[in-house]
Amino acid sequence: MNPLSAPSPDLRILSIEAILPHEKSDAQRSGPLMRRLKNAEHFTNPPIVADLADGRYVLMDGSNRHLSMRLLGFKHILAQVQDYGSDFVQLDTWRHVLADWDARQLMRELDALTGIRIHPGEAAGAIAQIHLRDGQLYSVQAHSEDLLQRNMTLSRLVDVYHRSATLYRSALDDTAQIWSLFPSGIALIVFPVFLPEHIIEAALHCAYLPPGISRHIVQGRALNMDYPMARLRADLPLETKNEQLQAWLRERYAARSIRYYAESTFQFAE
């Protein structure tokens, strides 16, 4: 992949109802986000969607923004459309860092779950691996190999700690770094990588993944757009809103106010 050749982002105003999420929203994130969006003057970071070519779109990233806008009564949302088959899209997973809880209680509650088996060490076909701070490793296997049933089981597993622990997402899998960065961390949960067809199937069948597992890495992502929220709120046809968006983009390109960074970056203001 040559990041220098990433194309300009395909930005569109879409019907919120045409966008299908593949994961549940994160209650720890969506509440504060909704409060910010309610009175926001600008929309900054568009969700990423994949076109299903039938008038519907799979939500690749931005489930909390999508849900928040929907609950606030927006009919339309600004989104970036990506081709799932493109070399500029990579599907990975987030790791879950659990903090501010007790590791023994975590394992007791997981042991009480039906539909899973927990083994010490690594195990083939695991739906998750649990790295405890004391160095112990466990693998979690689902009783069913059916993708939809596995997603339901995975959601139940995440629900166990989502309601009790402080949950952080991380791209790191080095436990030494994790424990250094998260002093109150008790466990690191690592998930297997999904395929695009798994994400699409989850969206089409409403068999949602837990929040914050899938991670779509998109080269040429549109960020910090500051598009006027008043234009998204306006009671205008979708076609008119997209004409306004394209005119707005032409103005930004003419003013040279759009810059492409090919480098991998760390953002400290998320």
Taking the C-alpha atoms of residue 194 and residue 214, their distance in angstroms, rounded to an integer, is 7
- pLDDT number for residue 1: 45
- pLDDT number for residue 3: 47
**Residues 15/75, Cβ–Cβ less than 8 Å:** yes
- pTM confidence score: 0.86
- pLDDT number for residue 269: 64
- pLDDT number for residue 270: 60
**Residues 93/192, Cβ–Cβ less than 8 Å:** yes
- pLDDT number for residue 5: 62
Residues of the chain with pLDDT below 70 are 1-5, 27-29, 269-270
**Residues 76/14, Cβ–Cβ less than 8 Å:** yes
- pLDDT number for residue 262: 77
Taking the C-alpha atoms of residue 74 and residue 92, their distance in angstroms, rounded to an integer, is 30
Taking the C-alpha atoms of residue 179 and residue 12, their distance in angstroms, rounded to an integer, is 41
Measure CA 25 to chain center.
Answer: 9
- pLDDT number for residue 36: 87
